[in-house]
């Protein structure tokens, strides 16, 4: 049953990630990967909420598998973050590559912590 919950969550998270990324990126005339940043920070916040809720006893394990592992796992994307960061560096935008790493890590961890604290 757990595998089905994860798969169902991922089936929703992956297309949402693609659509959200495209929607955000289409609004910016920049090589900076705004879409990936937005989905990763949003997913980190949701995962923080779920983790805090689980610790507080308000989120059952099945919901954590569905939304935490499945949905957030498919919504967020470390591989695209890594790829886009390397592409920035390779195309001469090393400053943007470093900025992407710093901003993504800072906002992602901050969002997860905020969600966790809010739920617990």
Residue set of the binding site for Na(+): 73, 76
Residue set of the binding site: 73, 76
What confidence tens digit (pLDDT) does each residue in 28-52 have?
999 999 999 999 999 999 999 999 9
Query: Dihedral sign, CA of 95, 101, 105, 107?
Result: positive
What confidence tens digit (pLDDT) does each residue in 70-109 have?
999 999 999 999 999 999 999 999 999 999 999 999 999 9
CB 43 within 8 A of CB 112: no
d(C-alpha 71, C-alpha 64), whole Å: 9
Burial (CB count within 10 angstroms: exposed 0-12, middle 13-18, buried 19+), residue 71: buried
11 phi, psi to nearest 5 deg: -65, -25
């Amino acid at each position: 049953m757990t595998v089905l919950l994860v798969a169902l969550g991922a089936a929703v998270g992956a297309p949402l990630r693609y659509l959200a990324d495209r929607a955000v990126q289409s609004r910016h005339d920049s090589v900076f990967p705004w879409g990936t940043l937005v989905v990763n920070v949003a997913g980190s916040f949701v995962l923080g909420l779920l983790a805090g809720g689980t610790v507080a006893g308000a989120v059952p394990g099945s919901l954590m598998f569905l939304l935490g592992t499945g949905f957030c796992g498919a919504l967020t994307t470390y591989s695209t973050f890594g790829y886009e960061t390397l592409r920035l560096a390779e195309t001469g935008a090393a400053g943007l590559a470093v900025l992407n790493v710093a901003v993504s890590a800072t906002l992602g961890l901050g969002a997860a912590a905020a969600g966790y604290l809010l739920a617990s």
